[in-house]
Copies of this chain bind each other. A is one copy, B any other.
């Protein structure tokens, strides 16, 4: 890939401006949502000229995709020796990501993009969901080895179901706590 071709003359692009743009974009995403956020507002909040944004990105989609990319973290595979401890860790982790205003909006934007753009759905599936699905399968495999669940449990299906429930509960918030709600649903799935 592109490796440090710094041969270009002239002033280099400001990394601090770049950071400020991404930060402002994420903030606005969490505050007003994808639809309502404008390039102008991002530029103003970042203390940056519109030009500086348009020089980097040609669309809002592009900008926001990069902003989300910039805060992506590692996939963790809990291994506490107990299925429900592992699962609770995963739920807690998902809660921390999704239940903040930013996480909420990010999910909303992803769903919005994915549902109207199969290409993006595919990419998101491969790059984000698939790794998590596989690490969840490992958690389930370990539980099977410990005889905590039936050996013919379909880890993938359960992961999908869990994701669906989380998603649904995010869009239509239940009365009880999100975490407890998801946990309760999951207990049905794990028999």
Contacts and interface: CB of A to CB of B under 8 A. Distances in A.
A109 B116 contact: yes
Copies of this chain, how many? Answer: 2
A125 interface: yes
A166 B62 CA distance: 29
Nearest to A185: B161
Given A33-B116, A129-B172, A171-B114, A188 B161 contact: yes
Interface in A61-112: 104-105, 107-109, 111-112
Contacts of A172: 114, 121, 125, 129, 160
Interface residues on chain A, size class:
35 or more
A189 B125 CA distance: 24
Contacts of A109: 115-116
A48 interface: no
Nearest to A184: B157
A160 B171 contact: no
22 contacts: A33-B116, A33-B117, A35-B116, A108-B116, A109-B115, A111-B112, A112-B112, A121-B171, A157-B184, A160-B168, A160-B172, A160-B174, A161-B161, A161-B185, A161-B189, A163-B164, A163-B168, A164-B167, A164-B168, A167-B167, A167-B168, A188-B191
